[in-house]
Amino acid sequence: MKKILAIVIVAMFAATSAFAETPTQMAVGYDGGLSMRYMAGAVGVQGILGLNFVSPASDAFDSAIDLSIGVNVFKCMWECDKGNLNGFAGIKIAMDGDTTKDSDAETDISVMAGLEPEIFLLDNLSVTTKFGLQIMIQGDQRGAGGKTVDDSGSMNIGTFGQGVSIVNGAAFNWYF
């Protein structure tokens, strides 16, 4: 899966750079999934589509495709030639496609807000990471065989982007 994702991202970079002479406010990239970003002056929007393919560890488990969809709204708070500091707010919906994983939630909804530093490595290429506050509403918990073991769901409030997570949460944007 990682090889396929890498090929898709490289193909997007090659296709968009072939048609662009100078960078614009539109970007494609990877941010926990395939990302499309558009900045209109100091305000922007980002859509993220993530797929996770799970292959079975044994015959007792099904294979699955998990889907996550996210939308973020940005406001540039500080700007210079080699970087920006963006404030953002967003929502993410994660849907679990497997009915047999132990202790997995059916559908999670997250609302996030925080800061996103953006550093330009090249004129067209930037690296970002996000950190801030997240409220996650988790769906029913399921056990083996897809049977609901807890139908109350739960809500978690916490931070993200701390410690090693900043390195793991790096995102790349190719402006075209």
Q: Is 175 left (phi over 0), alpha (psi -120 to 50) or beta?
A: beta
- Amino acid (1-letter code) at residue 127: V
Q: How many helices (H) and strands (E) does the chain have?
A: 2, 13
The CA–CA distances, whole Å, from 99 to 59, 75, 147 equal 14, 39, 8
- Could you give the CA distance from residue 101 to residue 120 in angstroms, rounded to a whole number? 40
Q: How many CB atoms lie within 10 A of CB 82?
A: 9
3-state secondary structure of 64: strand
**Please, what is the Cα angle at 64 between 61 and 66, to 5 degrees?**
135
96: burial class by Cβ within 10 Å (0-12, 13-18, 19+)?
buried
Number of domains observed in the structure of the chain: 1
Is the model more confident about 51 or about 139? 51
29-85 pLDDT tens trace: 988 889 999 988 889 999 999 887 766 665 555 666 778 899 999 998 988 888 889
Tell me the residue range of the domain where 51 lies.
2-175
Residue 21: pLDDT band by 50, 70, 90 thresholds?
A: very low
Distance CA 33, CA 139 (A): 21
- CATH number for the domain spanning 94: value is 2.40.160
pLDDT of residue 176: 82
Higher model confidence: residue 170 or residue 96? Answer: 170
On whether the pTM is more than 0.85, the answer is no
